[in-house]
């Protein structure tokens, strides 16, 4: 199973970016998917997660209303639309997959994921 994340970059505060993560080697439409991030000098943390069919989502409190997770099960891709970006959103963003998972509630836990992408850097300047 491979996850390829892309879409990171440098953006000014208040700007927007969309991250993408393409999954191969697994039945994507049976995977719970998540986005995590690791700010400079800090531990990796949960950002957002989405159920296998896209019907349920979870968000970390600080990103609610600004970041939105979605998926396209035809393109085997999960997205993270990031609006109203803040300097504190600066981090390496990782996508993660949990194959054959019908739930969504526990997708905030890093330990629940089996596969991880390589990370994409997002830098928000003030």
Lowest mean pLDDT among 34-43, 77-86, 98-107, 116-125: 98-107
Please check the confidence at residue 46 and state whether its pLDDT lies above 90: yes
State residue 81 phi and psi, 5-degree precision: -85, 125
Please check the confidence at residue 105 and state whether its pLDDT lies above 90: no
State residue 75 phi and psi, 5-degree precision: -90, 0
Going by pLDDT thresholds of 50, 70 and 90, the confidence category of residue 111 is very high
Please check the confidence at residue 84 and state whether its pLDDT lies above 90: yes
Going by pLDDT thresholds of 50, 70 and 90, the confidence category of residue 93 is very high
Average pLDDT, the chain: 96
Q: Measuring CA to CA, which residue among 113, 123, 58, 60 is closest to residue 87?
A: 123
């Amino acid at each position: 199973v491979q996850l390829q994340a892309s879409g990171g970059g440098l953006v000014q505060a208040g700007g927007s970016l969309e991250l993408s993560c393409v999954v191969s080697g697994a039945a994507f439409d049976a995977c719970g998917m998540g986005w995590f991030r690791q700010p400079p000098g800090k531990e990796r943390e949960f950002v957002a997660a989405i159920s296998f069919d896209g019907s349920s989502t979870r968000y970390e409190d600080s990103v609610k209303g600004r970041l939105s997770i979605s998926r396209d099960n035809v393109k085997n891709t999960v997205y993270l639309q990031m609006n109203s970006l803040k300097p504190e959103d600066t981090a390496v963003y990782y996508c993660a997959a949990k194959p054959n998972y019908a739930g969504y509630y526990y997708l905030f836990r890093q330990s629940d994921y089996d596969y991880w992408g390589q990370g994409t850097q997002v830098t928000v300047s003030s």
